[in-house]
Structure 1
Amino acid sequence: MIAASSLSIQTPKQHQEASSPSEAVRHLKERYQAAGQGHLFNYYDELTTEEQKKLVDQLSALNVERVNRIHQKATTCPSPMLSNQAALLAPLPDECFDSVMDASAEKTQEWRTIGLNQISQNKVAVILLAGGQGTRLGSSAPKGCYDISLPSSKSLFQIQAERILKLQEMAQKQPGAVDNVVIPWYVMTSGPTRPATVAYFQENNYFGVSSDNVVFFEQGTLPCLTFDGKIMMESKSQVAVAPDGNGGVYAALRGTGVLANMAERKIEFLNAYCVDNCLVRVADPVFIGYCVQKNADCAAKVVRKNYPTEPVGVVCLRNSAFNVVEYSEINDDVAHAINPKSGQLAFGAGNIVNHFYTLDFLNKVESFEGDLEYHIARKKIKSVDLQTGEVVAPKQVNGMKLELFVFDVFPFTERMAVLEVERREEFSPLKNAPGSGQDCPETSRSHILEQHARFIEAAGGKIVVGEEDAQVDGVPTLELSPLVSYAGEGLAEIVAGKSIKTPIQIHTVEDLKRAVF
């Protein structure tokens, strides 16, 4: 039925056209009516021709039956955490878990060599999850553009690009390396961040990475829904949509042709990570080598929880399958349980969203995609009131967004591996506004500068703190470009037994040679 507010005076010709829509539009209306979403056409007849086309194009591209299935599953499947936790949760099996903190130097070097060899054969690529904006940081730009106030003013994107460049250089020196070692960088944006991200890379000449090896693709969206499953409208001619979560990366990789691009490049192994970890070791050869040696099809890096009730998700077994269990789902007894063999927390593998996949595994995701569990985020969603036709900005939560998380594929892996890494070396998330004191620009900056000081001191160098601007928040102002050292390697031959005075920025190996005394 046409809503009363859409009635208008029409000429006979207009009436004929309105009452005789094209066959395609008629079928589309019938399809949405059958799916219980016919209200999306309530205002169709009062739209301009251009607006009608916009709505029809959007609804034609939308799989409304899939949306209904996702809503049905998300709202009717009981939470697996409602039952007895002790019966549901189990620690990670010993055979799939290792720690760089417990491994010998020889074992770590073995993993690193395996990883570098794979990179040297152009078998490794990285996937950057970069769809977020810096809203909580007080910035409307993509989060990867954010400047954490390092002395060099480098953004997160630039830091990560330089790590890729250094790793390519290191792998090029491996025996039997291909002529031109390349680590392709697949950058997933969201709709709102795509233009700004691409422009930022172009303006900065891709930070020295070849533009041929930076591939941008866009994560998908899902309609916003009322609590009874009705698709909401942002305007009379447009459905209200939201990004489908970082777990949307799997469908996006397939739908945008990225998986085909990877196959064409003969990529075998992928490292996926979030843009907001300033310490992330992109395509870490130790992690790649570990996973290859374990013959894993999917793997995760984790850090040791600082204390039993730390609010981080935990990688463990749930119903005998690998999963990430949110801290809010773990009761006190489970949180404090101790592994008698290691003396560490039994559920202490903190998730840092840094994953490994084989390309074969990513290609298999489509086969079990229908079984993935979407998560409900209840939100205040601005939308059209179907009674009045007015756009309403609600004061109370009025709808839901449905999301997949990137770790939701873990239960479907056949050969999972988990590698524990040292938090202070590999994990410092940028989440909160400046001045908040935790996971914020100030902590990110301090953690990077602290790490660079450790690199120098571990290589046998001494840091001499100068007088003016020589420290930031008590940390020596010594910034070392990833182009000089990826993870502290190659420094000893230059700095051992010598000193460096702060403040100083070291951009090249030559800078470092000139700085020591």
Structure 2
Amino acid sequence: MTAPESFPEDLYQTLADFQQTHLLAWWDELNERERSELLAQIQRINFAQIQRLYTPDPSAKSEESPAQKAERATRPATVVRLEDRKSAPTESEKATAQGNQLLAAGRVGAILVAGGQGSRLGFSHPKGMYPIGPVKQTSLFQILVEQLRARARQAGQPISYFIMTSDATHEETVEYFQQHQNFGLSSDDLYFFKQGTMPAVDAESGQILLEQKHYIAVSPDGHGGMLAALKNNGMFDVMREKGIDTLYYHQVDNPTAIVCDPEFLGYHQNANAAVSVKVVSKRSPDEKMGVVCDVDQKTQIIEYSDLPDSIAEQTDEAGNLLHWAGSTAIHIFNRDFLEQIANDDARLPFHQANKKVPFIDASGSQVAPEEPNAIKFERFIFDVLPEADTVLVYETDRSREFNPVKNAEGQDSPRTAHEALNLIFSDWLQSCGVKLPADAIVEISPLFAVDETELKQKISVDTQFTSPLYLGE
């Protein structure tokens, strides 16, 4: 058994050992650039891992399914409910002060997950570039970066932004930030890092699929791939050097997320939690949200697709949903906890998904399957929750903070996000005593006011405005 011309013999032996030599079927036809690209892809693959994921050890104890776990689900133990915070403003004020101290000490960094494209919105660019501001059509990226800058200005300390991109979004995202001078964020406080990928394998044979004769079919390794990406790109080293021990995690599609929310940070620290999760009350049992619950005294998130209807519909004596806590994908993580998980790869499992993946067949023809033909492997960041000693579950107001842009129309669409932003800004102005017409369109840059309290310092009761209104830096 010999390697093809100019292909490393030892690497060819690895392919042979794992029955993956078909990846070189067209090696002799490839030009130098194509060979280099294919070789680089092959060198990055952990073939033993792929084989282990595709063919689990038959002697290993079979794990119960998430649906079986859900049978034992109870409400999470450590919860801060929204109503309780409203009825105990002093506690909220203390938590906010504590969170502000963390920010002022320079101990907080923010992680933005921005690997997705806007294809479901009919937008052929990174989703963070999508225009969402009610008046200026400000992009998701700009809204979130300006929030971070405003929070840093209040704290008197810079806040570093760690932005996770993907193969599909990285170059365009970096170029977009450069074109806009990072929206005013110092390059010393901005770090882009790319999440990893995993090869797709044929569901029947376990063979890795080729998308083209010189290119392996790969897909992002999920938001849980963030841990390996942070480690492999040296981001944990940067955080340690900067004294960052608390990480505020959120996703790019939610323009109303409160970036580095001081109150949430304070409650996280008070609870001595390794992880904190922001949740909202589910609208209905069948709402497509991961549910935060406890199973065997461990807080975790069960995907809505894994939650049997009979469990999702359970209610308490008052008729309220037993499993009410829907995850917003807003978290706080202790950096050292994430590093521990990243350094012990087995602690964060991979999940399999059956998907339709176009591929090159044995004759070299392109095949576009009509049914799922492949297995993709991905990790979920929320799988770290059961590894934590303490997880805080913190309820927030959905209308204020959870208005993601996921669908082109209907719920969680650009229209509903526009409406939510407009309502938030209008309410702030009205709380300052400003009278607005019912159909007013308002947008307030975080650099003008990051919250209602800051706005009240700048707006007097007798100020007159016309619509549409934009208040910027």
Q: TM-score range by the shorter chain?
A: over 0.9
Which residue among 231, 247, 261 is the counterpart of 1:254? 231
Q: Secondary structure at the residue paired with 2:267?
A: helix
Unmatched segments (≥5 aa) in structure 1: 2-17, 173-180, 510-517
Which residue among 211, 215, 234 is the counterpart of 1:234? 211
Residue 356 of structure 1: aligned partner: 332
Q: Which amino acid aligns with 2:147?
A: R
* 2:349 counterpart of 1:373: yes
Alpha-carbon distance between aligned partners in 1 of 2:3 and 2:182, rounded to the nearest angstrom? 53
Measure how far apart 1:72 and its partner are.
3.2
Residue 222 of structure 1: aligned partner: 198
Residue 513 of structure 1: aligned partner: none
Q: Secondary structure at the residue paired with 1:132?
A: coil
Residue 282 of structure 1: aligned partner: 259
Which residue among 477, 481, 485 is the counterpart of 2:441? 477
Q: Secondary structure at the residue paired with 1:154?
A: coil
* 2:60 counterpart of 1:83: no
Alpha-carbon distance between aligned partners in 2 of 1:142 and 1:278, rounded to the nearest angstrom? 15
Per-residue displacement from partner, 1:224-274 (whole Å, max 9, x unpaired)? 111132110112222111111111111100011111111111101001100
- Residues 351 and 379, structure 2, Cα contact 8 Å, conserved in 1: yes
- Residues 453 and 463, structure 1, Cα contact 8 Å, conserved in 2: no
* 2:405 counterpart of 1:430: yes
- Residues 131 and 190, structure 1, Cα contact 8 Å, conserved in 2: yes
Q: Which amino acid aligns with 1:423?
A: R
Per-residue displacement from partner, 1:169-203 (whole Å, max 9, x unpaired)? 2112xxxxxxxx11100110001111110111111
* Most deviating of 488-497 and 372-381: 488-497
Residue 305 of structure 1: aligned partner: 282
- Residues 100 and 108, structure 1, Cα contact 8 Å, conserved in 2: no
Q: Which amino acid aligns with 2:386?
A: P
Alpha-carbon distance between aligned partners in 1 of 2:57 and 2:280, rounded to the nearest angstrom? 30
TM score, norm. by length of structure 1: 0.85
Alpha-carbon distance between aligned partners in 1 of 2:410 and 2:3, rounded to the nearest angstrom? 62
Residues 456 and 68 (structure 1 numbering): CA distance in 2 closer, same or farther, change over 3 Å? same
Superposition pairs of residues 179-218 of structure 1, within 5 angstroms:
181-218=157-194
Which residue among 437, 443, 462 is the counterpart of 2:434? 462
Alpha-carbon distance between aligned partners in 2 of 1:285 and 1:43, rounded to the nearest angstrom? 56
Q: CA RMSD in A?
A: 2.3
Alpha-carbon distance between aligned partners in 1 of 2:464 and 2:312, rounded to the nearest angstrom? 44
Which residue among 105, 128, 132 is the counterpart of 1:121? 105
Residues 46 and 462 (structure 1 numbering): CA distance in 2 closer, same or farther, change over 3 Å? closer
Alpha-carbon distance between aligned partners in 2 of 1:297 and 1:507, rounded to the nearest angstrom? 38
Per-residue displacement from partner, 1:37-90 (whole Å, max 9, x unpaired)? 22222333443344333322221121111122233359995552353743x322
Alpha-carbon distance between aligned partners in 2 of 1:325 and 1:350, rounded to the nearest angstrom? 10
* 2:384 counterpart of 1:409: yes
Measure how far apart 1:19 and its partner are.
6.7
Measure how far apart 1:495 and its partner are.
4.1
Alpha-carbon distance between aligned partners in 1 of 2:35 and 2:309, rounded to the nearest angstrom? 55
Q: Max radius of gyration: which structure?
A: 1
Alpha-carbon distance between aligned partners in 2 of 1:149 and 1:494, rounded to the nearest angstrom? 21
Per-residue displacement from partner, 1:390-447 (whole Å, max 9, x unpaired)? 22222332212211122121111122111111111110010011xx221111110110
Measure how far apart 1:499 and its partner are.
5.2
TM score, norm. by length of structure 2: 0.93
Residues 343 and 496 (structure 1 numbering): CA distance in 2 closer, same or farther, change over 3 Å? farther
* Identity value in percent: 33
Measure how far apart 1:504 and its partner are.
4.0
Alpha-carbon distance between aligned partners in 2 of 1:316 and 1:360, rounded to the nearest angstrom? 24
Residues 19 and 165 (structure 1 numbering): CA distance in 2 closer, same or farther, change over 3 Å? closer
Residue 298 of structure 2: aligned partner: 321
* 2:79 counterpart of 1:97: yes
Alpha-carbon distance between aligned partners in 2 of 1:60 and 1:227, rounded to the nearest angstrom? 23
Which residue among 396, 406, 420 is the counterpart of 2:371? 396
Residue 412 of structure 2: aligned partner: 439
Q: Which amino acid aligns with 1:487?
A: D
Q: Which amino acid aligns with 1:232?
A: L
Which residue among 99, 102, 108 is the counterpart of 2:92? 108
Residues 84 and 108 (structure 1 numbering): CA distance in 2 closer, same or farther, change over 3 Å? closer
Residue 152 of structure 1: aligned partner: 136
Residue 332 of structure 1: aligned partner: 309
* Most deviating of 36-45 and 399-408: 36-45
Alpha-carbon distance between aligned partners in 2 of 1:19 and 1:416, rounded to the nearest angstrom? 51
Give the aligned length: 468
Residues 123 and 19 (structure 1 numbering): CA distance in 2 closer, same or farther, change over 3 Å? closer
Unmatched segments (≥5 aa) in structure 2: none
Alpha-carbon distance between aligned partners in 2 of 1:359 and 1:19, rounded to the nearest angstrom? 44
Residue 19 of structure 2: aligned partner: 36
Q: Which has the higher contact order (CA 8 A, sep 6+)?
A: 2
Alpha-carbon distance between aligned partners in 2 of 1:344 and 1:424, rounded to the nearest angstrom? 20
- Residues 74 and 376, structure 1, Cα contact 8 Å, conserved in 2: no
- Residues 221 and 244, structure 1, Cα contact 8 Å, conserved in 2: yes
Measure how far apart 1:377 and its partner are.
2.5
